[in-house]
């Protein structure tokens, strides 16, 4: 099956989060880049950007899911809070890093 890049995650935590999001909609995605063969617990926060790939016939559906995800992040920011992309905890605007998972 042909895969196409749908999103470039800033780090492997965000990539795994979006992969999990897509799986909830029965979309199987692949991650490329970073150093994903290493256990995620050992990765530094700022690993290389990670490409997320989905099957070409799922592109449209995946785009909708990811834009919903991005809109959620934005609207939470507008309320003064932001959602952590890896653990989904809400953080106050004044927090630079997630209080829950750092």
Give me the residues that bind Zn ion (CB under 5 A), please: 84, 86-87, 89, 98, 100-101
Structure tokens at 51: 């490409």
Question: 68 or 89: whose CB is closer to Zn ion?
Answer: 89
- Is 21 in contact with 63 (CB distance < 8 Å)? no
Which is nearer to Zn ion, 34 or 85 (by Cβ)? 85
32 versus 43: smaller Cβ distance to Zn ion:
43
For Zn ion, the closer CB: 22 or 98:
98
Least Cβ distance, residue 4 to Zn ion (angstroms): 29
Asked whether 73 and 85 are in contact (CB, 8 A), the reply is yes
Q: State in angstroms the smallest separation of the CB of 81 from Zn ion.
A: 13
Closest CA to 45 of 90, 69, 9: 9
Minimum distance of Zn ion from residue 49's CB (angstroms): 19
Query: Of how many residues is the chain composed?
Result: 102
Q: Tell me the closest approach of the beta carbon of residue 92 to Zn ion, in angstroms.
A: 13
């Amino acid at each position: 099956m042909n895969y196409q890049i749908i999103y470039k995650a800033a780090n492997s935590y965000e990539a795994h989060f979006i992969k999990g999001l897509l799986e909830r909609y029965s979309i199987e995605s692949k991650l490329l880049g970073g150093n994903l063969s290493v256990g995620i617990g050992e990765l530094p926060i700022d690993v290389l950007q990670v490409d997320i790939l989905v099957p070409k016939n799922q592109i449209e559906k995946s785009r909708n899911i990811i834009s919903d995800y991005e809109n959620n992040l934005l609207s939470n920011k507008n309320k003064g809070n932001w959602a952590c992309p890896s653990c989904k905890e809400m953080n106050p605007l004044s927090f630079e890093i997630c209080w829950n998972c750092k």
